[in-house]
Structure 1
Amino acid sequence: MRESHVTEITQNKKDYLSLLLLADEQENMIDLYLERGRMFVLDDSGIKAECVVTDEGDGILEIKNIAVVSGSQGKGYGRALIEFVEEKFCREFKTLQVGTGDSPLTIPFYEKCGFTRHHVIKDFFTKNYNHPIIECGVQLVDMIALQKDLEKKRS
């Protein structure tokens, strides 16, 4: 990533629906947070990734959606967006949180970015999605919430 830059998207967020659906495959679930969230896109000779964060109260900023374009995954774009969010919001929030399925695709990524498991939301995927969510051949049932202390970023 040589000349990449991050831009906040404040209007027409649905223009990025195909990218949002990579991380959250049901549009009505995206609709629950998209307008109240702050959306950022990373451009590196074209849009490579997006991230939507929301204020969940009590000093918690939550990543509701983060996705990297197919073909650009594994190149540091997701990590770069997380680092951008941490820097931008470390003085406003105490904790950065993300909820994801118990998947070998996502949990190790977040752990490498410094997140630790915090709590489990039982049956989240089976209760909130109108179809089974399958990753790596396994149906996702519970949501795993991971957190990272943002106060350490303040210096």
Structure 2
Amino acid sequence: MMQDLKLIDARPEGRAVWEITIPRYLCNLNGSLHGGGAALLLDMCTMSALGPLASDKRWVFLGGVTRSLSLSYLRDCAEGTPVIVDSYVLQAGRTMALIRGEIKSPDGKIFYTVADHHKVNLGPQLAMLEFEPEPKGGLEPNTHFVLGGGKAML
């Protein structure tokens, strides 16, 4: 999906604006944007809005996880519809952030889906540091990440 998205604006205060034409693989059998497809699209795009706020050990790419993702589906969005996914950070602290995401028409007059995305900053896992762009800026891996079974990932 990220290959189909085109970044059209990014701002240092924590905003990322993407454009995409709704592809078939994000749609249900009726040819409309599926709820799960909208959730995936918003999850990925809202995460990118935190990028400009990244600093040493805080909000680095792949360093946070979703705490909750709440979507409101306002209007049907058919396959082939060009849309804008506008994501902006409402609040970002040391460990928690709230990002608003909107799937809307390019002119901003029609809203299809809106989301509030709560993120938790865990810091990158050791295995994920290889995907972090250079320079790594003194990032330290999170060695305290615990999976559901209580096993620490090192």
TM class by shorter chain equals under 0.3
Normalised by the size of structure 1, how large is the TM-score? 0.26
Normalised by the size of structure 2, how large is the TM-score? 0.26
Which structure: larger Rg? Answer: 2
